[in-house]
Chain A
Amino acid sequence: MAQLSRRAFIQKTSVGLAAAAAVTAVPLIGGTRRSSSPRKGTRSQSALPNSSSGLVAHITDRKTGEIHIYLGEQEIIHHDRALVSQLLSAAKSTSNS
């Protein structure tokens, strides 16, 4: 399984998490699978000074609670139906306000 540590250079990652509190507070349900790029090489973070290191969460399957989390160069597939429900409720309440 490929790891973030493939990048051999200076790690300048600072994470500004839009949903960090939710990710860390909710117990992992269904397991988390990390997948990284299938290519042989990964890009040095130090070579990407213009890319900020926020986190993006993409709900891909509401029924199974599958969320694709994009952080740095990683794509982490996480399953958490409760978190999905929480995020959708937040989005719905925001759109209704």
Chain B
Amino acid sequence: MSSHREAPSISQDPVADSTDLYAFVSPDRPDTITVIANYVPLQLPAGGPNFYEFGDDVLYEINISNSGDAQADIVYQFSFTTVMADPSTFLYNTGQIQSLDSPTWNRRQFYSVVRIQNGRQELLGENIPCPPCNVGVRSIPHYGTLAQAAITSLPDGITVFAGQRAEGFYVDLGSIFDLGDLRAFSPDQIIPGPAAAGVNATAGLNVHTIALQIPISSVTANGTMPSSVTDPNATIGIWTTASRQKVRITGESEGQGLSAGPFQQVSRLGNPLINEVIIPMGQKDAWNASYPSQDEQFISSYQHPELAGLLPVLYPGVFPHLAGLTAARADLVAILLTGIPTGVVPGFQNYTGPIYADMLRLNVAVPPSTNPSIYGLLGGDAAGFPNGRRVFDDVTTIELRAVAGATYPLVAPSYSADPAAGLIYDLVDPSKTSVSGLSTIMERYATAFPYLSTPWDGFNNPATTPSPVLANP
């Protein structure tokens, strides 16, 4: 959850909390992109008696801009409905759940998908079932097969899935928010401690996922596959939002309340970790309620990020060059607010124009990598973050290194980044930059849509063994 509980108001509203956005050219279907929008953070698999759900009163949206104005040209809307089969029992399921329509499954969710494009609203699908939460091996003996049945084909070659998945984002939350400690570098911290391996705070947790796989020709401005990386139609901007109606009257029981008024955006997410560590506390709620095209109002936080000022203080003597870097961080503005223009990184660009906007910028002409590096572009892999974001990209380390000055030479060649800027990391040993190495921090991914793996089951997690266990794949 690169953006979980990241603002005061949304931290009180988990079902509307955008936690991660991923967007990448699908590795097994490179004529499509996959967009994954996650919500409802930090799910303990043993989540009964009321397991996690999407909000029936929340409007979830995936927004795509392809015309260079940071406005949504295509919007996919998702709305959910919960159906309770038997109100007389306290149980989520009264027997084994063998299929998506098992009569023993008491609380099911369904959703609709609407596409808004060129001024038209089009219902792409309705009453699409979500899979159940992964209760445990007795309740759901074969969860993988069950969840697979929830992958649904929509018109125009679109595939959709919405439901619980294993959390794919990894981060040592405990150390980072304990005065910016990085466990491997604790001996150098201003309050020193022993060096230690990072602790993955999201290991064994689940999240709720909305995933779309869309033909590339459906999302580019000219309706075609771009011919090259420098094709002006090659880069799209993507962000997700969650909105609630302005007025909510609480009823005496479920279904008795009232929602009224226009939808008010309460959460948004483009690039990872922006509202988490770039936007100051006093502006986080406003950031969530505003649109990417309005992001110029926050530019000072990108040009002079607080974290860049803290690193030399927290690690005395480690970042002397960063300490002297007072110029506006044009590199961070480019990476996070406009995209990288042609000529800065050889053979790559994901520039969407001069409008400052927090969007995940994906150049769909860059093919999937055959040997991906979790460090993405910083690791020489242009198919990864900040070119979109794949589920396994180590966005925390990438952004840490960028903020620490590793990317400033791109815009100021005379600047020499501190050696530490290229060495610091959050969790994953830098010698293990392959995806397979993430198994050491208990992360696993799927090789096909929706690319986030089967959720951890509630019977075994919290783990009764040293590592999370999945008993019913």
Residues of chain A whose beta carbon lies under 8 Å from any beta carbon of chain B: 6-9, 35-44, 46-56, 58, 70-75
Contacts and interface: CB of A to CB of B under 8 A. Distances in A.
Which applies to chain B's interface (DSSP): helix, strand, loop or mixed? strand
Given A47-B112, A55-B260, A73-B262, A39 B243 contact: yes
Interface residues of B, number: 33
Contacts of A39: 72, 75, 243, 263, 265
A41 B123 CA distance: 12
B67 interface: no
B112 A35 contact: no
A48 B79 contact: yes
Given A51-B245, A58-B247, A70-B246, A41 B116 contact: yes
A36 B114 contact: no
B121 A50 contact: no
A44 B261 contact: no
25 contacts: A37-B264, A38-B262, A39-B72, A39-B75, A39-B243, A39-B265, A41-B75, A41-B114, A41-B116, A41-B121, A42-B262, A43-B59, A43-B263, A44-B79, A44-B112, A47-B79, A48-B79, A48-B259, A51-B258, A54-B258, A70-B245, A70-B246, A71-B260, A71-B261, A74-B262
A4 B81 CA distance: 22
Contacts of B123: 9, 44
B5 to A, nearest CB: 24
Nearest to B259: A51
Interface in B332-385: none
A73 B259 CA distance: 9
A70 B116 contact: no
Question: Which of B72, B257, B259, B262 is the most central at the interface, judged by chain A CB atoms within 10 Å of its CB?
Answer: B262
B260 to A, nearest CB: 4
B81 A44 contact: no
Contacts of B116: 40-41
B262 A37 contact: yes
B77 interface: yes
Contacts of A36: 262
Given A41-B116, A43-B79, A56 B260 contact: yes
A68 to B, nearest CB: 8
A55 B77 CA distance: 25
A47 B247 contact: no
Nearest to B59: A43
Given A40-B116, A42-B263, A51-B259, 13 more contacts: A37-B263, A39-B263, A42-B262, A47-B79, A47-B112, A48-B259, A50-B81, A50-B255, A52-B257, A54-B260, A71-B260, A74-B262, A75-B261
B56 A50 contact: yes
A41 B61 contact: yes
B112 A70 contact: no
Contact of A50 (B57, B71, B262): B57
A72 B260 contact: yes
Interface string B120-131: 110100100000
A52 B258 contact: yes
A96 B454 CA distance: 59
